[in-house]
Structure 1
Amino acid sequence: MGDLKKIIGERIRNFRKDKGLSQEELAHMSKLHSTYIGQLERGEKNATLESIEKVANALNISLETLFRISQPRQNENEYTLSQIVTQLQARSIKDQKFILELIDLLLDWKGK
């Protein structure tokens, strides 16, 4: 159970940082205390479903997105791809399209 708290906490932190929010801003938006947000991010607190829903709503992500956990696989390529997908899920569609264009440019530059 401790690992799950840490994984979810890390995902909350990543989504928060990707949105350019401080813990205090996320706390205000989710109507939770900033100390509680810090404890969630560090995996120190067992969050209630209500609190998790408030955080997800404040981050403008679905609960499915928050809980979608990619486990490392033996195949390093699959793991790397799952990490890329996880990072992109936190971004807007506009950002995702921009990043895709950058990937295309980089692949063209490298010679695919």
Structure 2
Amino acid sequence: MPSEALKSSLGAQLRALRRARGLTQEQLAEQLQVTPRYLAGVERGERNLTLDSVDALAKQLAVSPSVVLDASADED
């Protein structure tokens, strides 16, 4: 999978997980101590995430890191 497609898939998965938990971008960004603009960029597939970032997202969303990375998961 090309890098851009991977970032897009990861962003879509993150958006689905966030929405499934009833969180706005602003709420999740505050909990993660990042800006809403940064989180929006991640969800649009414009930003790269480190493994530490994936781990932090997973903890905040109460899922395993593999769920965040699984673009085939159906969380909606």
TM-score (norm 2): 0.86
Superposed displacement of residue 69, structure 1: 3.3
- From 46, 49, 54, the equivalent of 2:48 is 46
- From 10, 22, 25, the equivalent of 1:23 is 25
For the pair shown, the structure with the greater C-alpha radius of gyration is 1
Which ranges of 4 or more aligned residues in structure 1 deviate by more than 2 Å? none
Alignment of 1:1-112 (within 5 A): 1-70=3-72, 86-87=73-74, 90=75
Greater share of residues in helix: 1
SS class of match (2:23) = coil
What is the identity percentage for the equivalent residue pairs of Structure 1 and Structure 2? 32
**Structure 2: stretches of 5+ with no match in the other structure:** none
CA distance in 2, matches of 1:32, 1:50: 13
Superposed displacement of residue 68, structure 1: 2.2
Q: What amino acid maps onto 1:3 in structure 2?
A: A
CA distance in 2, matches of 1:55, 1:19: 13
Q: What amino acid maps onto 2:18 in structure 1?
A: R
Matched length:
74
Larger relative contact order (Cα-Cα within 8 Å, sequence gap ≥ 6): 2
**Structure 1: stretches of 5+ with no match in the other structure:** 71-85, 92-112
TM-score (norm 1): 0.61
Q: What amino acid maps onto 1:26 in structure 2?
A: L
